[in-house]
Structure 1
């Protein structure tokens, strides 16, 4: 069996921060079957800033009690995503810093309503590849809770 020392091990669920959006202490579910990561968002409103397309949306912090958190981010693109039930949906894509443990790297997130889902954040395979992570599905919350500030080595 081959091993790869440069890859960090994570479990099926991990604590993350999205410091560019001011979001701290989010529980994320790892979804190796999804290519793109997804962030729960509502009240999504596109707007223009300095000639560039941006999006304003409400994210939701907390697990039992949801606290609305207003965010703004530049739009990377609009992507058509096919959900697990086969329905296609156009979604805004943003890029922001993801902090996990003592590491951080930029990740693209599609914005979608996940209000009926247990986890408001899904981390897809592209985020795992970019973060040089491997998943042990028998584990959860392997990494320490991320630092509140931008971690060292953040891009």
Structure 2
């Protein structure tokens, strides 16, 4: 069986969510998580041109910045977090760019304020697009020197 040549991501990368105006987000690559998630606080739901949307804020505490974003609201789902607790979360669909590859991804909005990374990239976003090398970082991050070793 021949493997398709796919780009390789490290265990952490800087990613972009271009339609949300978010660039250079630090993301942890986690093939153990099914769904990608973004640190965001839902402000309101609304409808535009017959489609459901959600407005939410993304806080960058290290820069003292709050970005207000809007995205198509796909669903509210029960998502099991790493501690085994199931939470009801909004799920949005928006373009995600990792390296040179851009695609529409489903991303849950979660309170990740106690996490080191504001974004987590799950296996649904990685599948058939990337190989994961958990021993390196920044393999798809322009301007960052790839780093060997895992230091969470």
TM norm structure 2: 0.86
Residue of structure 1 aligned with 2:134, choices 137, 146, 152 = 137
SS at match of 2:52: strand
Give, in whole Å, the separation in 1 of the partners of 2:65 and 2:142.
Answer: 20
User: In structure 2, do the counterparts of structure 1 residues 111 and 89 end up closer, same or farther at CA, with 3 Å as the change threshold?
Assistant: same
Unaligned runs of 5+ in 1: 147-155
On the 8 A contact 2:72/2:94 being kept in 1, the answer is: no
Give, in whole Å, the separation in 2 of the partners of 1:66 and 1:109.
Answer: 24
TM norm structure 1: 0.84
Q: Which consecutive segments of 4 or more residues in structure 1 shift more than 6 A?
A: none
Give, in whole Å, the separation in 2 of the partners of 1:134 and 1:47.
Answer: 37
Cα RMSD of the aligned pairs, angstroms, is 1.9
Alignment match, 2:29: 30
Unaligned runs of 5+ in 2: 144-152
Per-residue deviation, residues 90-127 of structure 1 (Å, max 9, x unmatched) = 11111111112122111110001111111000000000
Alignment match, 2:16: 17
